[in-house]
Amino acid sequence: MAAVALIVHNDRPSATDLAIKTARWLAEGGHEVRLLPTDAAVVGLDELAVDEAELVEDLTVAVSLGGDGTMLRTVELVAAHGVPIIGVNLGQLGYLTEVDPDNLHSSLGLYFAGEYGIEERMLLSVRVDAPSGGVELDEALALNEAVLEKTLSGHTVRLDVEINGQPFTPYAADGLIIATPTGSTAYAFSARGPIVAPTHRSLQLTPVSPHMLFDRTLILDPETSVRITVDGHRPASLSVDGRVVGSLARGDAIVCTASPFAARLVVFASRDFHQILKAKFGLSDR
């Protein structure tokens, strides 16, 4: 029998209801259900609560119940362990989610029968070199992006960029986004970055409101190493997939590369990225 983790949006009643029904359905089929303590408390299934280490141990599949934000949380939890992820769309845009709520149980049946595919998405490795102590973590994984941006309204931040150990240029901007192809339709898109097919492999370096003539996105080889160092007296806030992890002071830096791990998203039919774009943006054929 399978071990299934349910990752639940804590502020969405529809996600809670579906989690309860799915946990019951899985248990009736003889499968093991695991939830993190915070999710188990919200759902009311405290007896299924496990810590993060136990959650991923010999885990068969993780089911994300929410929107794209819940998918990002699920990827952070299980991607380094190679666990496949089924995304259930209980949000709005649903770029990352594959399954409608009404089809979850039938989709799980297909998964257990081996009738599915895996779409691998490149992840970004974000290593932190912060002597100031403003960021506690040493490394993080991102499915969408890492962002360094200003903390003070009305002021830019100065960020020095090195590519493969060689100085490139300093940026005076509201921030810099280092995105994966999946992240090209997230924050980088709002900063006028390019749309990149999500199964492509590359890094996109996009400035946010730069105060300089060079304002273009750099699309870099996936083997590229990008180091961004905070210069000047103004600090920069670091966020990874939308989660603020701390503040970097002058001399602090991050180093971004393609991760050796990938997000393994379960698909049950061919996904046409161009058709998804058309649907999300309401594009017409003529």
User: Which residues are marked as active site?
Assistant: 68
Helix (H, G, I), strand (E, B) or coil at 42: helix
The pair of three-digit structure tokens given for residue 37, joined into one six-digit string: 């303590």
CA 131 – CA 112 distance, rounded (Å): 48
Give which of 222, 184, 219 is closest to 201, Cα–Cα. 222
Q: First CA to last CA across the chain, in angstroms?
A: 50
Tokens 């997939």 belong to 241
The contacts of residue 53 (CB under 8 Å, 6+ apart) are: none
Contact by Cβ (8 Å): 143, 186:
no
